[in-house]
Each structure stands twice: as C-alpha cells, then as structure tokens.
Amino acid sequence: MIFAIFYATWWVFQDPRGIMRMYTPYVGYMVCRWLLILFIWMAYIFDYWPFKRSWLNRTHPVVKGIVLTAVCVLAMEILIKGFFMGILGRYGIAYFNPDRLRAMGLTHFYAEEYATEAIMMFAAIASWLSPSWVVACENAPWQKLEQPTRGITIAVVTFFLGTIVYFVTMHSHMAILFYPWQKYTAITPPYWESFANTVSGNFHIAWIMSCTVVVWVYESIWERYPFNLIKTDWLRRTSAFFGIIAVAFCLCFFLFYAQDLSWGLHIRGTRREMAPDWRWLHVGESAIFWLVGVLFLSFFCGNYPTKYSRPVNVFLRTLISAVIGAAVYFLYYRYAHLFLGTQKGISHPQQFPMIPMIWLINLFLVNMWFMDGWPGWKAVPKTAEELEQVEETIVAHDVKWTPSLAKGLVVGATAGVAAYFAVIAVMPWIGQIQMIK
C-alpha cells in the first residue's frame, strides 16, 4: 500500500511528467529534505507537541496522519518562504532568494536551482544533527524540561550548530557557482580541494549524508548498540555522538573507494561517473539506498532477527538491510526512468536518486510515526515489560564482561575483516555488471 501511495504522490508532486513537477531536481529535493526535518522535529524533538497525548491515542490513524502531516507542511512553507527566502534571502544572503537572483541577471532555472540547493543543504545538515541530539546525546542536558521548552531549546541549538556546519562546508560551494567566484565573501577555492580532489561541495554531501544514515542505523537496527553498554551517562553520550561521526566517515570513504574499485580511479577534469565531484555525490546516494533497507527492516519486519544475542542480531540486521539497499539500488538504476520520469543512466546530470528515496522514507515515517503503522497494525499502550525494553535500549544492563564475550568480540572482528576483503574482491566484478550507459 505504501508503494502505491508513493507512486501516486510522486506523480502528483514530483514526476516531471505529472501535475506539480517539483523534480527540477532541486526544488523537489528541497521539499523532500525539509519534510523529513519537520517529521523528525514533530516526532523526536517536540514529542508531538502541541498535540495532547489523549488526542493522539484516541484519534483514528488516518485523521491523525493527515493532521500531523499538514502541520509539518505548513511549518515547512513558513520556514522556506518566510525565513530562508523572505528574511535571509531578502536581507542577508542573495542566493537564498530566487527572485533576487533573477533580478541580478540569472535565468529562472538557475536562480531557482541555486536558491533551493542552498536551502536544501540546511535541511541535510539538520537531518544529521537534530536526531543525533536525541539519539546519541539523549536530549541532555535538557532531557528533564517539559515541552515545548525542551523542543525549542534543542531545535535552536541544533539549528545554530547546523548554521556553523553550513558556512564551513557549503557556503564556499555556493560562492563558486557564480562568475567570478565570490572570493570576498567565501574561501575560494575551497579548502577541501587539496584532499577531496574537487572544489564541489559534494564532498561534504557525502559525509553529511553518511552521518544522517548512521544515526538511524544506530537508532533502529543497532538499537543504540554498542555505545549503550557504557553506563556512565556523559561518556556514553559523547562516545555515541562522535562515534556516529567516525562510523559515518568510514562508510563515506569506503563507498568512495568502492567506486574506484568498480569503475577505475577517478580523474579530475572528467565528467559523469569518472569525475570525483559526482563520485562524492554518489557516496551520499548509495548511503541513502542503505537507509531505505534499514528502515524497511526496522519498521515493517519487526527489526528481524531478534532471537540471538545483541551483537549477532546487529550483524545480521546490518547484512540483511545492506542486501535490501543493494537490491533497491540496482532496481532503481535499471527501471526507475520507466516509472518515475527520471533520467536513464547512473550518472546523468539530473539523476538524483536521493529525491525518490527520501520521498519513500518520508512515507515510511508518516505511516509509522503519525499513523501507528495503520492499516498493518494499530498502536496499543506499552506494557511494563516493553517499557523496560525501551529503557534497556538506552542503557544496556544485561551485558557483563566474560571470557565468552571476549571470544565473541575476536570472532566478530575477524569476520568483519574477512567481509571487508571479500567485498573489495568482488567490487570490480559488480562494477562491470552494474554500469548502465
């Protein structure tokens, strides 16, 4: 049913052959990203404030889904049109306002694409930092505040941190989109040119998207393992926050390396799949495909499997979700252009698989967070045992150091290293059968 709704809503809102045709691509990308952020703010940051828990419990899932989604859409419109375009773009930074860019001589298409790309990147950064403060930092030090004080505080703090990240990652990228480069307002060429082999901000898109994915991997299929083994609050929260970033960087550089193994070394100055700027972008795209598998396994498959030990469950879920993500990846590049109105080919300049993947993820979140999984199942009050399991997810108390645990860690590490080299060995073969011209 979700996939049918996905296709119908894609046709209405995004499909270039459909009604509203927001896939330009950056207008549609901006909408997808900001919807994701508003869903996260509604469910995770504000805990559904200003709606009362009694209303949430007694209202039909369809009504609840429509109302909560409509509130998020309204908030998104206020943020995009009111704050970014209306205030920031009109009185602060010109590239946030497409009307101002058109008045300065840019064509309608590029004015709209540049402005929406900048606004979209704020959302991309927020999609990592906002849930990280809840998942990794456990809302500390404001976890005891009531709503909306807690939600406003966390939203403001993460938005402030996101603004800093934006200006040291994407502002220089926006500055070089204009000729001549805006060297008096940004660092040009960007500082990452020397080690990322590109002046494009796609390098930052790669690791920021990886951070976004790893946050939800850690929260869902990993159930906050292994950092929830740390009993000391401040150490667990700090380790989890920076541990997510470390895992994300490992994922980011591995996916980039995998492309070199599959298609040959990247060459600066070339275009499409051989270009380093596209390959950094494709790192983020590949990570999002994995996130689809992660959330599908967590939401609709009961976080299968659950009957083994924590490390074994986590390992098997990671493997299964990666297989699901890889399957979606291959199917998308082979057939998506037939159904979604996107361009054929893996590296077409207007081929942005993150847009339909995030659109699908948004529908996952609406169904599970706003509609209680209806019609597949309905929400019921949690039992005392289930509440204990939730608490156990945050801090695990059932794991103690034993010789068998040490043996398991050694076996797990060995298996991980073996799996790494096995993947490296088969990547050139996969690359040969995957590339679609």
CB 297 within 8 A of CB 324: yes
Cα(369)–Cα(354) distance, integer angstroms: 21
Torsional sign, CA 399, 402, 408, 414:
positive
Mean of pLDDT values over 366-371: 95
- pLDDT tens figures, 278-317: 999 999 999 999 999 999 999 999 999 999 888 889 999 9
* Predicted local distance difference test score (pLDDT) of residue 159: 94
Which ranges of 140-232 would DSSP assign to H, the alpha helix?
149-169, 171-175, 193-196, 202-219
Cα(239)–Cα(183) distance, integer angstroms: 38
Residue type (1 letter), 313:
N
Q: Is the pLDDT of residue 360 over 60?
A: yes
Q: Is the pLDDT of residue 384 over 60?
A: no
Of 19, 39, 81, 46, which Cα lies nearest the Cα of 364? 39
Mean of pLDDT values over 18-37: 95
* Predicted local distance difference test score (pLDDT) of residue 115: 97
3-class SS at 25? coil
Q: Is the pLDDT of residue 400 over 70?
A: no
Cα(270)–Cα(285) distance, integer angstroms: 20
CB 340 within 8 A of CB 356: yes
- What is the pTM for the complete model shown? 0.92
Of 41, 26, 234, which Cα lies nearest the Cα of 130? 41
* Predicted local distance difference test score (pLDDT) of residue 436: 47
Of 52, 90, 429, 58, which Cα lies nearest the Cα of 258? 429
- Chain centroid to CA 194: how far? 27
Rounded to the nearest integer, the mean pLDDT of the chain is 91
Query: Which residues touch 200 (CB under 8 Å, ≥6 apart)?
Result: 173, 277, 280, 281
Residue type (1 letter), 356:
P
Of 132, 69, 26, 57, which Cα lies nearest the Cα of 363? 69
Mean of pLDDT values over 234-253: 96
Higher pLDDT residue, 420 or 383? 420
- Chain centroid to CA 225: how far? 20
Cα(82)–Cα(140) distance, integer angstroms: 30
Residue type (1 letter), 212:
T
Rg of the chain over all Cα atoms, to the nearest angstrom: 22
Q: How confident is the model at residue 423 (pLDDT cuts 50, 70, 90)?
A: confident
CB 36 within 8 A of CB 355: no
Q: At what angle do helices 108-135 and 149-169 cross, to 10 degrees?
A: 130
Q: Is the pLDDT of residue 397 over 90?
A: no
Per cent of the chain over pLDDT 90 is: 77
- pLDDT tens figures, 411-421: 777 877 887 78
- pLDDT tens figures, 64-101: 999 999 999 999 999 999 999 999 999 999 999 999 99
- pLDDT tens figures, 154-203: 999 999 999 999 999 999 999 999 999 999 999 999 999 989 999 999 99
- pLDDT tens figures, 103-127: 999 999 999 999 999 999 999 999 9
Cα(35)–Cα(77) distance, integer angstroms: 10
In order of 218, 226, 298, 350, 387, the CA distances from 305 in angstroms are: 16, 17, 10, 38, 20
* Predicted local distance difference test score (pLDDT) of residue 429: 74
CB 5 within 8 A of CB 13: no
- pLDDT tens figures, 327-358: 999 999 999 999 999 988 898 888 999 999 99
Cα(361)–Cα(216) distance, integer angstroms: 12
* Predicted local distance difference test score (pLDDT) of residue 284: 96
